[in-house]
Chain A
Amino acid sequence: MRKSRTTALMAVALAVLSFFVAACGSSSDDAGNNDTKSNSNAAPAKDLKGQTVRLWIMNNGPKPVADTQNIVAPFEQKTGIKVKVELVGWDVQLDRIRNAAVSGEGPDVTQAGTTQVPFFAALGGFENVQDKVSQIGGASAYAPGIWKTSQVEGQDGTWGVPWFTEARTIYYRKDALQAAGVDPKTAFSSQEALKATLEKLKAVKDIGGKPIAPFGGPGKKAYDLVHNLMPWVWDSGGAELSSDNKKSTINSPQAVQGVKFATDLVGAGLWDKSMLERDGQQVEDQFKGGRLAVFIGGPWVLQSAKRADDDTWSAAARKNVGVAPMPGGANSKGFTFIGGSNLMVFKSSQHKDAAWALIKYLSDDKVQAQYANLMGMFPARLKPQEAEGTVDADHEAFYAAIKDQGRSYAPIAQWAQVENAYKNQFGQILDEAAGKGQLSDQDIQSGLDKAAKEADGLLAQSAG
């Protein structure tokens, strides 16, 4: 008995000791990092040569690391600063960036999704670069909607520098529209026109002997499901949050009508139900493979059609791909989500000046255009964006979407979580639509009420 008690006591003592060691270790680490962080900021420019800046990027384009490394090669040559590009997948980037920001163990610069910037800034692990942005032209060098993504509501500062931009718009198959007898110029001019087009496309069972569905979009597995459904909500006059960003308005009657537009497409058999079982990439591949006549995608799809090494395209789809702006609602010009990525500097970086030098280089108009072209995105800065928008009719459609229809979410720290709550319920509602067919207003209202309730709880979070 005494022996087992001794053993138990030893175990408890060891546990307590280790606990204190771990706790002390973490607090002293934090303190240490804060000290070194502020000191390193004062590194003189002449010392930058020979420094290595670690840059985290996500899956931008088919060869993300090699492409980025090529882009920064002239910078390395000119400054003597070495850039180490490291790939972090979109599926894990939120966790890794957050953990790096909190622990102080991370790279110098990271790419971050535009809607994530306020959350990362709230963690306190990133530099406020407000006093430096005049060196890259400041806010006036960017479209207001895009510049807004580098800010945090209620705080004076700039936590990210917009790197590249994307918007979602309509992709269609020219040959399918031709077979359906629809004029592409009017096919997507309004929500009603879109519906009528899809009805006609439904009658086109196949193209060249290959079955084709009128429309498809991903369901609950898509990480960006909210970006896909919010345009319908915005078109109906709905909004994701109240004007003061304190309450969810996703259960408003307008939002219900917006979501209903999407579920009606499922109910009417215009939205291929099997696409709801897939994630965004898989649906994109279905369009490229020729299984869908219409889908909503980003500019990278257009770029990939030009790459002969992208074998996900069927010959017919590649040859006949067309782009149109998003259709408008009854009282709107039509909206789309604009996003993209920003660059953020970690507070824990030991090479902040070199990191800023890299951001300055990547914000150069020419470099922006070059990189955006490689990835099939749009540059974040106005000038190169405008130039990209005049390349051809398809790029024009995208540029129009970014300029005239683009809309993003509130720059608040809780947005990523609110988006998650919406995603959960949007997925559930689309699931129900796939099972039941037509959903009533009440069905959708009940799902959106749950989303609003969860979002309100998340918005009410505080540090207290």
Chain B
Amino acid sequence: MSTHSLTPTEIAPPDPPPPATPKRRSRRPGRHLAYWLIAPALTFMVLVHLIPSAAGIALSFKNLNTFTFSQLFGAPWTGLKNYDAILFDSANPLHSGFVDAARNTVIYTAATVTGTLAGGLGIALLLARQFPGRRTVRTLMLAPYVVPSFVVAVLWGFMWQSDSGIINKILVDYTGILHDRPTWLLGHNSLLAIIIPSIWRGIPLAMLIFLAGLETMPRELHEAAAIDGAGPWRRFRYITLPLLRPLIAVQLLFGVIYSTYQFTIPYVMLGSNPGSDADLIMTLIVRQSFSNNLIGFGAAASTLLMLVMLIWVAVWFRAFRRDLEAS
């Protein structure tokens, strides 16, 4: 029990409370309502996003294979062995497959995002001009985007067929541009065979976004520049492109993420074993995890991919922060 006597400071009347403390504010019914309103979304996100992600990361440290598959989270702990196997252990049979898939994914992503943005911008610039039937053309240009990826892959799979596909018919039979019939779905060509449909499908969305940007762009800038003697290229280079930068930035962010996680098009067109020329990280992860039951390996590869994407988001944010703030 304490026996000390009270000091004058302790006897003095307390200061009046501040007019609005955070505690009092939190008692307001509106704040409770806000928590209730975000609770479903938060719960859903935790259940379908955070927990599976955490579980995936946990599994990446496990020796989860054919013999331990049924144990799942009870599988033996293997530390960083899966990561070591993927990144550094050239003696590991899965290492070279990962390196090939990583290389192909970088090429695929760079080509797809560049092609989509360039194509989308080019078509948007054409469609921003006035011409008869513009609305119809715009609507038709959206067609590839409304077709599901699976259907796109099936259609292009037929089109690339070396013997009966329309592409070789045009290149060899109708125009004579090529003498021999290339086999687009085999070997080195197969990476190109999945890049082109991916660009084809991505262009409409990019076009739509750029078109919206072009139509809200102030005309006075172009008119003033034209009066000052700037030609079309200079107006595009110094007015259009800088004003579209925030839109390019956002599409770059999502384009890289979407392309890196692409699975449907390569899987449907080339099968579960696309070969070292066209295997992507996602087809590799799915094959090793679910066909080969190497869940630990697949989880480690997925975690690495997620880390790379987080780094990409950080780099992107640094590069385009000013544009975001300006917009």
Chain A interface (Cβ within 8 Å of chain B)? 2-3, 10-11, 14-15, 18-19, 22-23, 26, 94-95, 98, 101-102, 119, 122-125, 219-221, 272-274, 276-279, 413-414, 416-417, 420-421, 423-424, 427-428, 430-432, 434-435, 450, 453-458, 461-464
Contacts and interface: CB of A to CB of B under 8 A. Distances in A.
B47 interface: yes
21 contacts: A14-B43, A15-B50, A15-B54, A18-B46, A22-B51, A123-B70, A221-B271, A277-B186, A413-B67, A417-B66, A420-B292, A428-B276, A428-B277, A431-B186, A431-B275, A450-B96, A455-B93, A457-B93, A461-B65, A462-B65, A462-B67
A187 to B, nearest CB: 25
B36 interface: no
Contacts of A19: 51, 54-55
Q: Chain B contact residues: over half helix, strand or loop, or mixed? A: loop
A456 B183 contact: no
A417 B186 CA distance: 23
Contact of A414 (B66, B161, B276): B66
Interface in B126-154: none
Contacts of A11: 42, 46, 50
Given A420-B291, A424-B273, A119 B66 contact: yes
B contact residues, range? 35 or more
Nearest to A6: B26
Given A11-B42, A276-B183, A420 B287 contact: yes
Contacts, number: 132
Contact of B275 (A122, A124, A417, A427): A427
B92 A420 contact: no
B168 to A, nearest CB: 9
Contact of B270 (A94, A220, A414): A220
A456 to B, nearest CB: 7
B275 A457 contact: no
A277 B162 contact: yes
A458 B96 CA distance: 15
Contact of A461 (B55, B67, B190, B276): B67
Nearest to B275: A428
A222 to B, nearest CB: 8
Contacts of A278: 161
Given A274-B162, A450-B96, A457-B94, A434 B46 contact: no
B298 interface: no
Contacts of B164: 274
Interface in B65-115: 65-70, 72-73, 76, 92-94, 96-97
B163 interface: yes
Interface string B259-297: 000000000001101111100000000010011111000
Contacts of B94: 454, 457
B88 to A, nearest CB: 15
Given A14-B43, A273-B183, A454-B97, A220 B70 contact: no
Contacts of A122: 66-67
